[in-house]
Chain A
Amino acid sequence: MIQLARLGDLVQSLPAIASLTARYPQRSLDLLCPAPFAALARLFPGVGHVLEWNGPQWHAWAEACVGEFQAGCLDVVGRYLAGLTSEPYETAYVLNQHRRALLAGSLLALQVRGPYLHGPLNEELSPWASYLRHVARSRGNNRVHLSDAFCGLCGLTPPPISPRLTPPLPDLPADLGDIGSSNRRWLAVVVGAGDPDRIIPVPVWIEWISALLTRESSYALVLVGSERDQVRSLAIQNGLSPMMAGHLWDATGRTSLPQLAALLKQCQWAVGGDTGPLHLATAVGTRAMGFYFSRARVHETGPYGNGHWVWQADRALPGAWPIQSSVALLLDPATAAHQEPVAGWSLWQSHHDEWGAIFRPAGDRDPQEDQRATVWHQLSEQRLSLQGTQ
């Protein structure tokens, strides 16, 4: 399997991995992913070897070739590829539409299953890739989750239950060692985002955390994020009442991805706008509540599985935030059905069934008919018909 996109997409590949290993239990499955995610990918169930894709090295080779191309350029590239695998794989399942992933598939395997039907130079899309491109361009009434579409790309159906990964035992810095212990309720706050457009403003977090701790003092909050989120985390802490300091643990920039997975597993909830850590939280069994705005869409990339919540903004940059409502929901999920509508936001809850994940509006009956079964049937028929013509 080849997944060269971001952290969120890698974690969202878990259902496809689960379906693939269930369908072909006798075959071994290796995973090619960006080198920085390799340690996390090694925790994925069903994955044999994890091959590390060194993007910066490829950039360096390409730069070295510019204006100075010689046959020797291919020597070093060939050695790198041989280091990934000495023998070509039988099949590469490519989950990205980026040409690099397709080329990687063609370089490493005898046959490629993925977005393109006929190799990297022929842009005729497979039915599922065509559907995903349509969704990316027009959204429409799509309710098929990206994780499940990945299964479709591989010619599989979604797994009956959402897959879990088991993080290692927490091996955290001493001051974070208590996370998950005691009688507190632990909640991870994802303070930043890989995409700057998806960052929840610091004042919003200050107000949200204040509202939560004012109403329920048994919560302990772990601020998580990368090194670049440390300044933001500090700003949040500085903006809070000193009385709340004892409720906060700052883990930003201090964890590797496996450590972050372990840390999230110690929490009951993960809250934030960055889909990558939220997907990681759900993968280790932690409930997630997401604030989706900018380009994030609940139906395509909401937290996978059962019982997660997503506040979906109706505009890219929200004017107001559902602070009190989301805190109330967190403290008592049963109130979801009776929540007052929040202007500019809609609330969705995740479910999981035979067609994978589905988000339905809280309280109300879904005004839109669930067409996932139809989509799956149509796309499967198209795929089978194409296979028949090949």
Chain B
Amino acid sequence: MNSFETNVNRLAQCNAALASALSQSRGGTLEIVQARTGIPSARANGRWIHSAYDPIQEAKTWAESQSPQEGETIVVFGVGLLYQVEALCARLPRTAPVFLVVPDLSVLVDAASARAWGDWMDRISWAWGTPEEISLQIAKANQPMRLMAYTPAAALHADSHRAIEAVLQRQIAAQAGGQLNIAIVGPIYGGSLPIARYAVSALESLGHQVRWLDHSVHASSYQQLGLLKNPQHRLALQSKYAEMLSRVTMAQLAEDPPDLVLALAQAPLILPMLEHLRKKKFMTAMWFVENYRHLTYWQQLAAGYDFWFVIQQEPCIAALKRAGAKEVRYLPMAADPSVHRPLELTQLEREEFGADASFVGAGYSNRRAIFPRLLGQDWGFKLWGNEWDGATDLTSVLQRNGARIDTDTCLRVFNGSTVNLNLHSCSGTGFDPDGDFVNPRTFELAACGAFQLTDRRSLLPDVFTPDEIATISSPDELPAEITHWLREPEERRVMTTQARRRVLADHTYAHRMRDLLSQIGVASPDRIGSIMRGARQTGALASAAGASFPSLTSALRTFPSNQRVELKQLAAHVRSRGPMGTLSREDLMVLMLDEYRSETKDLV
């Protein structure tokens, strides 16, 4: 009997269906090559899956670099010749459940043919089939999951793995009941400031405890520094000011340590502070709602945050990883339906804000070059926004002399215009040839039920269908497209209805925050994931404390069972018994730990 038959026969004892499917499958994905140590190694698509020298030692090193926690289900991505699974099993306690994701039976056929598996294979739960089937099999374990990717092998099925991970994240999001304490660090000013506000509101709507460290209160002081004429002084002092605000942020975080620090682009957190936060076990994430090609300060901060969320996909994600970011995920923009909503305008408002076509935004060079062709048409065009100085040919259509437009006005323009133009900014004279991300305005217009004509973006199909958003691929098409859409009120109505429905179904900030937290939860099953599952709520804590800690259990039972309770609250509860209160040994231990917890001076 060859190794394939031996392995399949043994597999049949624990998973007959997989063994049978394997017998009927063909291999050939992996090229088996003998390693220098004489055992089989493998290549695929010209790349080594295991070490060409010593696959066993390499697998051992990989297994030692993983950090599983007690009580977790281990989910391994990446099949290869299974050296890494063998090494992992050798390191884990026998009771630790291990799932191996098998998205493609062909690789497993190669693995089974290459060498005989040992006893460790009896410990493996083989998750195979479609991504949904695999996720379902893993979810049955009903335990916190620790995902481990053996990258050389996992890369062969990256799409399948992403799909499985997405299903697992959706499951976490659906189960989420635990309340997180989240600190949002906002910018001093700029486009990400309203996003910070929307994120705060969304997280609160999801039931989390949110503290907004709002640095916009420092904006006027910071802008005063911008008035300094000497550029060296200006830059040096602005940098010092940002550093000082970074320290302020640290002090604020130290006062009430959150489970997660979520920073928005331009948040004043410098790398040394982020490194210090990591040392102190703070978990940090950045939602970089900027074009990574234009604002490049991420290069200095990449290694500082535990998680990066970006509005662009490749090559943005790869660039951040090259700069040192460990976890980078795609998280597109969104809308806040409580703000971005259909409005009934009065006659006066209609006269002021209404137009056949309009645009709200700053005077970037491509817009300056494109908009003059909208003048002198049969229909009217209004231009709103600031930074249009010098665009004299557009003076006749520029509203309010180019004053900055607030959100409220913006919503009235969106709702009052028949066709809203949505041209992403670019430094050239046309559309951005690298245009990928979808700007917030796209979602906001859709949420308002306002019709929009948008320049084509490579990531737009991910979030809207052509039935929901009308697009153009060249500035030259713009006048004709506007004319066309002005003549199609019913088609416009259908599209705006569908677009708004789509936003409400998929693209609110609440959706984004839920995705963000579930992704962090999957990557951090013992911390964020555990809280989200409700494992830190009093009911769960009291069950875990059980008979071993009767006093703690009875203290926990005095809180509502779904309330999140931490050391601080428990200590306050013990103290609330008053000066003559009787203290158990557990109470004293809680008080002692809380004494040390309350010393936060080393953080600041």
Report A's interface with B, CB cutoff 8 A: 58-59, 61-75, 77-78, 81, 99-100, 103-104, 106-107, 118-124
Q: A100-B595, A121-B575 are in contact. Are A107 and B589 (CB under 8 A)?
A: yes
B599 contacts the other chain (Cβ, under 8 Å)?
yes
Q: Which of B549, B580, B583, B595 has the most CB of A within 10 A?
A: B595
Whether B596 contacts A124 by the Cβ 8 Å rule is: no
Contacts of A77 on B, CB cut-off 8 Å? 589, 592-593
Select the stretch in B97-105, B143-151, B565-573 that faces chain A: B565-573
Instruction: Check B579 against A59 for contact (C-beta < 8 Å).
Output: no
**Is there contact, CB below 8 Å, between A74 and B586?**
yes
CB atoms of B527 and A68 under 8 A apart: yes
Given A66-B566, A121-B578, A106-B593 contact (CB < 8 Å): no
Task: Please give me the residue from chain B that is nearest to A100 by CB atom.
Answer: B595
Q: Do the beta carbons of A62 and B567 come within 8 Å of each other?
A: yes
| Minimum Cβ distance to chain A for residue B260 (Å) | 9
**B597 & A103 in contact (Cβ 8 Å cutoff):** no
- CA of A67 to CA of B257 in the docked complex: distance in angstroms? 8
Which of B121-129, B291-299, B540-548 has 4 or more CB atoms under 8 Å from chain A? B540-548
Interface string of B571-604 (1 = CB under 8 A from A): 0001101111101011011111111110100000
Closest to B543 in A: A71
**CB-CB < 8 A to A81: which residues of B?**
589
Contact A106:B583 (CB < 8 A) given known A58-B593, A62-B593, A69-B541: yes
List 5 tightest A-B contacts by C-beta distance, closest first.
A62-B596, A122-B579, A71-B545, A62-B597, A69-B567
Q: Are B259 and A107 interface neighbours, CB within 8 A?
A: no
Query: Shortest Cβ distance from A9 into chain B, in angstroms?
Result: 18
Contact of B599 with A59 in the complex, beta carbons under 8 Å: yes
By a CB distance below 8 angstroms, the chain B residues around A123 are 579
Partner of A121, one of B259, B535, B579: B579
Q: Cα distance A74–B597 when bound, in Å? A: 14
Q: When the two chains form their complex, are residues B552 and A74 in contact, meaning their CB atoms are under 8 A apart?
A: yes
B281 sits at the interface (CB 8 A)? yes
* Residues of chain B contacted by A63 (CB below 8 angstroms): 280-281, 597
A119's closest neighbor in chain B, by CB?
B583
User: Whole-angstrom distance from the CB of B344 to the nearest CB of chain A?
Assistant: 46
B585, closest chain A residue (CB): A107
Please, could you name 20 A-B residue pairs with CB atoms under 8 Å apart, sorted by A? A59-B596, A59-B599, A62-B594, A62-B596, A66-B281, A66-B566, A66-B597, A67-B566, A71-B552, A73-B593, A74-B549, A74-B589, A74-B590, A100-B596, A103-B588, A103-B591, A106-B588, A107-B588, A121-B580, A124-B579
When the two chains form their complex, are residues B549 and A58 in contact, meaning their CB atoms are under 8 A apart? Answer: no
Report B239 CB to chain A, min CB distance, Å: 29
Dominant secondary structure at the B interface: helix
Q: Which residue of A lies closest to B281 (CB)?
A: A63
Q: B535 to chain A: which residues have CB within 8 Å?
A: 70
Say whether B442 faces chain A, with CB atoms less than 8 Å apart.
no
Q: What residues of A have a CB within 8 angstroms of the CB of B549 in the complex?
A: 71, 74
Interface centre among B280, B544, B570, B594 (most CB of A within 10 A): B594
B181 interface hit (Cβ, 8 Å): yes
Closest chain-A Cβ to B283's Cβ sits at a distance in Å of 9
User: 1/0 per position for B206-248, CB-CB distance to A under 8 A?
Assistant: 0000000000000000000000000000000000000000000
Residue B536 CB within 8 A of the other chain: yes
Q: What are the residues of chain B within 8 A of A71 when measuring CB–CB?
A: 541, 544-546, 548-549, 552
- Separation in Å of the A125 CB from the closest CB of chain B? 12
Contacts A69-B541, A70-B541, A121-B581 known; A107 to B592 CB distance under 8 Å?
A: yes
Extra 8 A-B pairs, beta carbons < 8 Å, given A58-B592, A63-B597: A62-B596, A67-B259, A69-B565, A70-B536, A71-B548, A72-B544, A74-B549, A120-B583
A72 contacts which chain B residues (CB < 8 A)? 544
The contact string, 1 if C-beta is below 8 Å from chain A, for chain B 267-289, is 00000000000001100000000
A contact residues around B531 at 8 Å (CB):
67
Q: Which residue of B lies closest to A81 (CB)?
A: B589
CB distance from B113 to the nearest CB of A (A): 45
> Contacts A63-B280, A123-B579, A124-B579 known; A104 to B545 CB distance under 8 Å?
no
